[in-house]
Amino acid sequence: MHTRITLTWVCAGLLALGSCQKAADCPEPETQTVDAVTRGAYIVATSGCNDCHTPKTMTDHGPVPDMTRLLSGHPVNEPIAPYDPATVGPWVLLAPGLTAAVGPWGVTYAANLTPSESGMKGWTEERFMKAIREGKHMGLDNTRPIMPPMPWQEISKMTDEDLKAMFAYLQTIPAVDNLVPAFAPAAH
């Protein structure tokens, strides 16, 4: 990837100690360069994307993401377990894989974020930015809003650089062929 991100640490600590009163006395700021894909992998791994977008398997310690299906969304052939609408509360992620959710909006299925035909193959960086910044399904104009519980309102507060790094990383992960079921609006 040609995009490079530079992290700079200023010598604030040294200034605080009074050991470099003038800029000229300060050592050169330490600079570390991380490529966009590495940075994107770090952001995706630490921002909860797996919580909804990666199918889980059940273990003695609870649900763990199945990394062989990393970020491939709700499995097309995995029916959601029956649930009692009376006990759902405001909304809930649904068993067995915790990749689908039910709430007042209906039932949503976490999207396939891998670069497959049924995922984000062919998406441009611009489409990814539009999806996250404006909550537009498929990152296109004139599409429906992206529904809860996808927290695009929060994710959209990331910098352009971080969103682009996430997209760069997502385009490098193994493509998983999985056509996620369509959003099922609640019948009101």
For the range 176-179, what are the long-range contacts, defined as Cβ-Cβ under 8 Å and sequence gap of 24 or more? 176/69, 176/70, 176/71, 176/72, 176/112, 176/114, 176/116, 176/119, 177/116, 177/117, 177/118, 178/69, 178/72, 178/73, 178/75, 178/76, 178/112, 178/114, 178/116, 178/118, 178/119, 179/76, 179/112, 179/118
Contacting ligand HEC within 131-170 (CB under 6 A): 131, 137-138, 146-147, 149-151, 155, 166
Q: Which is nearer to ligand HEC, 36 or 166 (CB)?
A: 166
Interaction residues for ligand HEC, span 77-136 (CB under 6 A): 101, 108, 110-111, 113, 131
Does position 176 interact with ligand HEC (CB under 6 A)? The reply is no
Of 15 and 92, nearer to ligand HEC (C-beta) is 92
- Interface residues toward ligand HEC, by CB under 6 A: 47-49, 51-53, 101, 108, 110-111, 113, 131, 137-138, 146-147, 149-151, 155, 166, 183
